[in-house]
Copies of this chain bind each other. A is one copy, B any other.
């Protein structure tokens, strides 16, 4: 707020100048790291401390007109904030991001929010490159979670395809919002079940090609593949689908929901871009950046398409998600994020080890799913359907969250489409052993893993004993 020279002049009447000189050196150091952030437009090597982050955010928010000391607002939207607690938690930011026609456009009366938005987009681009997807041109943060963000991508693609295009070819993954984002866009999903290769569920490339022929290239809005998912489904054959998409000139969208946290998955995307069509890949901010739910990063190798999606966003958006990502990236720094990535990998191995020992003890198997670097599945072949469900609810009441118990016998209808074997990603009436999955995602600790294995062990014992007695 006060320039260094002013500070020294003002304060030198109060304290000796040599005391101030050292303090001034410190100020300059701090100013320099901020300056480098703006100039290099890269995630800083080391994270910033809280004071620097809060000061920077406050400086930025002060550039918005609602925070001007002598403001004069006679519009319908002046970012007035009634509740002081709300003002504080947003550091005075109220104008949101974007303008009516473009979520990335600058707002004349909100220079600060505009800068925040742009810087954050630049930092997420750097993050994606750092994680290995070098062939990327543009990345934007949308203030909507992955489902709605994917939907916006589909609407954008639809508007650019032939007026006949209405189908979305979708490699089945049993998470509801991955499917709903297609139907919400009023498009017609074509569900392509994966095929089983030993334990693992893999992309059914043949069926994709088959459907393209049946429906006709022009009728297809896009192909949708998924990287991160629950075992025993593996990452889709991104490269195979990319090549197919290129061959038929069909856009290819990747749901990379929580795939940014592991280089195995980002590598698939990078390969896809190099070898074929990857137009958009979408990842959620909460799962990859450990912020509250609500944002997604839309990225791709063609700047124009990403810009088109931004332009498709109607109206302004919340800047809250942007602020969360901005603060988190600055607080972690490059070192901090890469440490999280390394720790996750170690914890995945630890989870696998402990899971294998548990499986052996209970005469179950760990499914062999090499193309899934995050989620692990263990069979529950020694339990009947009732007991499998009971295991799920017992774990829940014991405070375990995030594991999934799959009977493979549940059916579910979503928006008029029936999914047999819901939860298992596949309709397979023969090879349907129930199983349980757990995931080692970013931020997990050994304490989580130990507690999970311990509780699961006790639950399995309890269920078996009840059965046996």
Contact = CB atoms under 8 A, between A and B. Distances in A.
Contact of A15 (B92, B114, B287): B114
A397 interface: yes
B29 A108 contact: no
A399 B74 CA distance: 11
Interface residues on chain A, size class:
35 or more
A293 interface: yes
Nearest to A67: B51
A217 to B, nearest CB: 19
A86 interface: yes
A4 B316 CA distance: 28
A298 to B, nearest CB: 14
Nearest to A117: B14
Contact of A184 (B15, B85, B312): B312
Interface string A67-102: 111111111111111111110111011111001110
A168 to B, nearest CB: 13
A143 B287 contact: no
Interface in A285-312: 286-287, 289-295, 312
Contacts of A84: 50, 84, 331
Contact of A71 (B15, B292, B295, B448): B448
Given A73-B448, A85-B50, A111 B321 contact: no
A72 B452 CA distance: 6
A326 to B, nearest CB: 10
A27 B14 contact: no
Contacts of A402: 73-78, 109
B70 A399 contact: yes
Interface string A125-165: 00000000000000000011111101110010011000000
B295 A318 contact: yes
Contacts of A257: 76
Contacts of A50: 84-85, 88
A7 to B, nearest CB: 7
B25 A10 contact: no
A11 interface: yes
Given A14-B115, A101-B177, A146-B315, A401 B96 contact: no
Given A38-B11, A293-B316, A443 B82 contact: yes
Nearest to A55: B1
A208 B106 CA distance: 36
9 contacts: A3-B3, A14-B106, A55-B58, A75-B438, A79-B293, A82-B340, A86-B327, A150-B314, A158-B186
